[in-house]
């Protein structure tokens, strides 16, 4: 199982579980972002440079060229560039044969793609997407090589799935114009694009890339911490249909519950839980689980008979820990690094992740069946 398939399966399972537990309606249809290359407050992106002509790089070049962008594809290996162009041509021809792309559109898209082995050639472009090997030292060397040649308007992005965007951005002269731009594989087929802000990423940069995703005909996803109603409105508009936040925000609850979508705030104390319930919340994220523990939930659960609880933060993958939580009265458990470590993601050990995730899902099912 590759990364994109794993991520898609994980999201499906999670969403289905949350909706079933909360008794919510099926997901709403995702709205289409207008096909414009200009964000609400973003810059007008016309030219795109892509570093790395491997599977991800040539797939990204493919979709950008079809969307009307001028693309400059870079790789240190000239042979890789030749293979990339051949692959893009073959994949577009397949789309033509299936009636998804016209022969004229294919010819125009192929004409928009140029190649170079000189990294500096990408400097003046509006947007640069690094899609090289998933090694931080290599990515840093690429950005170091680009910096002296960048235009003042150039946005830098990385297709990384596991390396800190804030850390990568900190080595550049424009952390405010740096983002994670994570496409799923195979790029021409997979619809989801993850937009990852660094700590310094500004709104104009985010808006610009959000508009680019719309022009590509894809759907943007973001994993920001939900802390205000402006964020909630922004993500609702691009299609999010469940929201989880680190804490309870009354204005966010009012907006999202009014839209009929799931809002699960992080709560720790009975006072916070009461406030959330009074606002109409029915699904409580008990956080941090490792500090509170199953005994804590057991002692307060009877006070909140109408609420659904899910502990997150330090929930272990052992039968003992999972069983203790379900005996305490939870309806689900949330797991992050205890299940999918940063090392496994960095190593792209997707077979191991798939196997361990299946084992834990089987364990949860067994625990729930035998309670």
Instruction: Give DSSP secondary structure letters for 59-97.
Output: HHHHHHHHTT-EEEEE-S-HHHHHHHHHHHHHHHHHHHH
More confident site: 229 or 213: 213
Angle at 138 between CA 116 and CA 163, to 5 degrees: 120
In CATH, what is the architecture of 13-28+241-369?
Alpha-Beta Barrel (3.20)
Q: What is the mean pLDDT of residues 19-35?
A: 46
Q: Indicate if the alpha-carbon torsion angle 75, 76, 78, 83 is positive or negative.
A: negative
Per the prediction, the chain carries an average pLDDT of 87
Task: Tell me the domain boundaries of the chain.
Answer: 13-28+241-369, 47-222
Q: What share of the chain is helix, strand, coil (3-state, %, to 5)?
A: 50, 15, 35
CATH H-level, domain 47-222: superfamily: NAD(P)-binding Rossmann-like Domain (3.40.50.720)
Calculate the CA dihedral of residues 360, 330, 11, 315 and round it to 10 degrees: -50
Q: What is the mean pLDDT of residues 127-141?
A: 96
For residue range 39-61, what is the model confidence (pLDDT) as tens digits? 345 688 999 999 999 999 999 99
**CA–CA separation, 249 and 71 (whole Å):** 43
Query: Residue 33 above 50 pLDDT?
Result: no
For residue range 233-278, what is the model confidence (pLDDT) as tens digits? 878 887 788 899 888 999 999 999 999 999 999 999 999 999 999 9
Q: In whole angstroms, how far apart are CA 190 and each of 4, 181, 235, 347?
A: 8, 14, 20, 22
Q: Which of 301, 370, 362 is nearest to 330 (CA)?
A: 301
């Amino acid at each position: 199982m590759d990364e994109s398939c794993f991520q898609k399966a994980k999201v499906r399972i999670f969403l289905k579980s949350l909706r079933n537990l909360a008794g919510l309606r099926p997901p709403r249809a995702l709205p289409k972002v207008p096909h414009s290359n200009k964000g609400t407050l973003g810059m007008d992106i016309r030219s795109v440079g892509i570093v790395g002509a491997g599977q991800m790089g040539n797939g990204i070049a493919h979709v950008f060229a079809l969307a009307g962008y001028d693309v400059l594809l870079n790789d240190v290996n000239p042979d890789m560039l030749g293979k990339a162009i051949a692959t893009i041509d073959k994949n577009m021809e397949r789309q033509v044969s299936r009636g998804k792309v016209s022969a004229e559109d294919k010819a125009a898209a192929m004409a928009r793609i140029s190649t170079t082995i000189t990294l500096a050639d990408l400097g003046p472009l509006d947007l640069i997407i690094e899609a090289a090997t998933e090694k931080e030292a290599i990515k840093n060397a690429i950005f170091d090589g680009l910096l002296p040649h960048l235009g003042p308007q150039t946005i830098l992005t990385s297709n990384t799935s596991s390396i800190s965007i804030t850390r990568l951005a900190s080595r550049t002269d424009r952390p405010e114009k740096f983002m994670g731009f994570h496409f799923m594989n195979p790029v021409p087929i997979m619809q989801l694009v993850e937009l990852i802000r660094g700590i310094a990423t500004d709104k104009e940069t985010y808006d610009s890339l959000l508009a680019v995703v719309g022009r590509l005909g894809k759907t943007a996803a973001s994993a920001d911490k939900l802390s205000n109603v402006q964020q909630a409105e922004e993500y609702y508009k691009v299609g999010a249909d469940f929201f989880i936040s680190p804490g309870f925000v009354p204005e966010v609850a009012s907006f999202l519950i009014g839209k009929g979508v799931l809002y699960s705030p992080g709560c720790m104390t009975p006072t916070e839980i009461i406030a959330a319930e009074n606002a109409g919340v029915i699904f409580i994220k008990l956080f941090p689980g490792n500090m509170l523990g199953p005994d804590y939930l057991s002692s307060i659960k009877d006070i909140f008979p109408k609420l659904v609880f899910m502990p997150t933060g330090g929930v272990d993958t052992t039968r003992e820990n999972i069983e203790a939580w379900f005996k305490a009265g939870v309806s689900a458990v949330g797991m992050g690094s205890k299940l999918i470590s940063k090392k496994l993601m960095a190593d792209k050990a997707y077979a191991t992740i798939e196997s361990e995730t299946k084992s834990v899902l089987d364990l949860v099912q067994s625990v729930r069946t035998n309670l």
